[in-house]
Amino acid sequence: MRVGMVCPYSFDVPGGVQFHVRDLAEVFLAQGHEVSVLAPADDDADLPPYLTSCGRAVPVRYNGSVARLTFGPVTSARVARWLEGGRFDIVHLHEPVTPSVSLMALWAAEDPVVATFHTSTVRSRAMHAANPLLRPSLEKIRGRIAVSEDAARTVRSHLGGETYIVPNGVHVDRFGAAPAREAWTGRPSAPTLAFLGRVDEPRKGLDVLLRALPAVLESHPGTRLLVAGPGDAQDLLRRADPRARAATTVLGAVSDPDKATLLRSVDAYVAPHLGGESFGIVLVEAMAAGAPVVASDLSAFVAVLDGGRCGVTFETGSPSALAAALTALLGDGARRASLRAAGRERARAFDWSRVSGQVMAVYETVLAGAHAEVPDPAPRTLWNRLVRSVPGTGGGGS
């Protein structure tokens, strides 16, 4: 199958959507499919051979974070060339209403379109604003995928219609086989905790963890916190309790192998996120690596942890609740061993071998429906594609 995937965010900047697109493309390539990915990227970036850059992105504050997006006539022309040259069986757009290349590909696409929605918000401004203007284009989407029930609820509330739930994927065996590193491995007298995420993004909750740490140190005085991820943590550390500051080591951004090694080494992985999470892929990575998970009781996290069976949850945003959860877990070796076993088992549900099959099943369903329709006699031109996206021009979408 010839598959064209579009990622709206800069491919050379780490992010959950980028990693999802990368891994799905590489899994399908390994299975023998032909895959091309279109995404923003810097010209001098080290890019995989299956990726076509649609130009350099610019940072934009979006969805509670800073995303690197691209838009405009140059991007539009590159999208058109990529679609015309690809002759794809399926065009798979990620975050199709994000004001970037996925939206422009949706406007121009004629091939059967599948879209994955990664975002979960009570009220999505982008979807609300885009709905009336983009309704004809949104009707081109033959298969809607959401990465979680939370994300599906967002799609249904703004766009309506049927949505398939297909979670994010993880290479479970890669995390399970990662070696531990002595410098990151805890001891009974000095357990180690890990935090992974953009450290200066408030919704990731590092501040909550730092405020919880002094109470943990009272019961487990040798505890160390290892913080991994891009961004500058110095402001947070300056404001932190001196005991928490002394117990914290900032590792900076880490490679994928080092991330797996970190999660294999620690006594617990902590996810103190405050909101805006539709899935929680790093929780699955931690479980796959055998790290017991302590996470905010966000609905998406509770779902990943199978209702709390495979991890410990605490009241979102509460340093005291987090401190109590960590203190109890670090003092209970049997509980940690139980969570390691349950987490590894749970992670199997999210292995790419399973998730890629679910995505392919959506593709096949969409193609079967498209082949059953009466062919559109209109010529395959970019002008025709764009005209059919505009209300009142004789086309309601394909």
Q: What is the pLDDT of residues 213-244, one digit of tens each?
A: 999 999 999 999 999 999 899 999 999 999 99
pLDDT digits (tens, 9 = 90+) for 19-47: 999 999 999 999 999 999 999 988 777 88
pLDDT digits (tens, 9 = 90+) for 242-261: 999 999 999 999 999 999 99
Instruction: Quote the CA–CA distance of 52 and 50 in Å, as a whole number.
Output: 7
Tokens representing residue 141 in the block: 């989407």
Element (H, E) at 250: strand 248-252
Count the neighbouring beta carbons within 10 Å of the beta carbon of residue 31.
Answer: 13
Q: Tell me the β-bridge partners of 51.
A: 37
The answer on pLDDT for 301 being more than 50 is yes
**pLDDT score recorded for residue 62:** 56
pLDDT digits (tens, 9 = 90+) for 79-127: 999 999 999 999 999 999 888 899 899 989 988 999 999 987 655 555 5
Contacts of residue 189, defined as CB under 8 A and 6 or more positions apart, other chains included, come to 222
**Could you tell me whether strands 268-271 and 293-296 are parallel, antiparallel, or unpaired per DSSP bridges?**
parallel
Burial of residue 28, with CB atoms counted within 10 A of its CB: 0-12 exposed, 13-18 middle, 19 or more buried: buried
**Could you tell me whether strands 312-314 and 293-296 are parallel, antiparallel, or unpaired per DSSP bridges?**
parallel
pLDDT digits (tens, 9 = 90+) for 176-214: 999 999 999 999 999 999 999 989 889 999 999 999 999
**pLDDT score recorded for residue 133:** 58
pLDDT digits (tens, 9 = 90+) for 260-274: 999 999 999 999 999
Matching residue, tokens 């080092």: 258
The answer on pLDDT for 394 being more than 80 is no
Query: In 3-state terms, what secondary structure has residue 84?
Result: helix
The answer on pLDDT for 75 being more than 60 is yes
Q: Where are the beta strands (DSSP E) in 262-348?
A: 268-271, 293-296, 312-314
More confident residue, 333 or 55: 333
pLDDT digits (tens, 9 = 90+) for 347-364: 999 999 999 999 999 999
Element (H, E) at 102: helix 101-108
**Could you tell me whether strands 248-252 and 293-296 are parallel, antiparallel, or unpaired per DSSP bridges?**
unpaired
Check residue 206 and give left, alpha or beta (phi > 0: left; psi -120 to 50: alpha): alpha
Which domains, from first to last, does the chain contain? 2-169+351-387 (3.40.50.2000), 172-349 (3.40.50.2000)
Contacts of residue 297, defined as CB under 8 A and 6 or more positions apart, other chains included, come to 313, 314, 315, 316
Contact 327, 301 (CB under 8 A): no
Please report, rounded to a whole number, the percentage of residues in the chain having pLDDT higher than 70. Answer: 87
**pLDDT score recorded for residue 369:** 85
Matching residue, tokens 């992974």: 196
Order of strands, edge to edge, in the sheet holding 192-196?
248-252, 224-228, 192-196, 268-271, 293-296, 312-314
Contact 99, 69 (CB under 8 A): yes
pLDDT digits (tens, 9 = 90+) for 135-171: 677 788 999 999 999 899 888 887 777 899 999 999 9
Provide the mean pLDDT of the chain.
88
Element (H, E) at 3: strand 2-6
Matching residue, tokens 């790419």: 352
**pLDDT score recorded for residue 378:** 47
Count the neighbouring beta carbons within 10 Å of the beta carbon of residue 134.
Answer: 21
pTM of this structure: 0.85
